[in-house]
Amino acid sequence: AQKVTQAQTEISVVEKEDVTLDCVYETRDTTYYLFWYKQPPSGELVFLIRRNSFDEQNEISGRYSWNFQKSTSSFNFTITASQVVDSAVYFCALLRGGNNDMRFGAGTRLTVKP
């Protein structure tokens, strides 16, 4: 079975604070892909990052960084110096290799207060 768990339902921070969103996944496959999407109030899911199971290199993109650890089945997302525009629901998702059913976590609602 494959499953994605985002234990943090809601997080509230003050602008300029750093915040980490947790994602833990379960799969028996050796080939899989992990994703993070942002969903602002408008509803559209905005693609942020994709990692495959063979690449454990951490990635940084501006204020965003991702920590992929296969040993703990985690793919955590950190926003540095958060801004009000970062307020949204963030989803972690898992796609098995050769499969078409992307499994999403329940999402973490991030509120950044000015």
Q: How far is the CB of 9 from other proteins (least distance, A)?
A: 9
Task: Give the distance from CA 94 to its chain's centroid.
Answer: 10
Q: How far is the CB of 1 from other proteins (least distance, A)?
A: 13
Q: How far is the CB of 53 from other proteins (least distance, A)?
A: 11
Q: How far is the CB of 87 from other proteins (least distance, A)?
A: 17
Burial class (CB in 10 A: 0-12, 13-18, 19+), 79: buried
Measured from the CB atom, the residue of 74 and 80 that comes closer to other proteins is 74
Measured from the CB atom, the residue of 80 and 111 that comes closer to other proteins is 111
Measured from the CB atom, the residue of 33 and 80 that comes closer to other proteins is 33
How many Cβ atoms are within 10 Å of 55's Cβ, its own excluded?
A: 10
* Secondary structure E strands in 9-58: 10-14, 19-21, 24-26, 32-39, 46-52
Angle at CA 108, nearest 5°, toward 56 and 16?
85
Binding site for other proteins (CB under 8 A): 4, 33, 35, 37, 42-47, 50, 52, 91, 93, 95, 97-107
Measured from the CB atom, the residue of 52 and 81 that comes closer to other proteins is 52
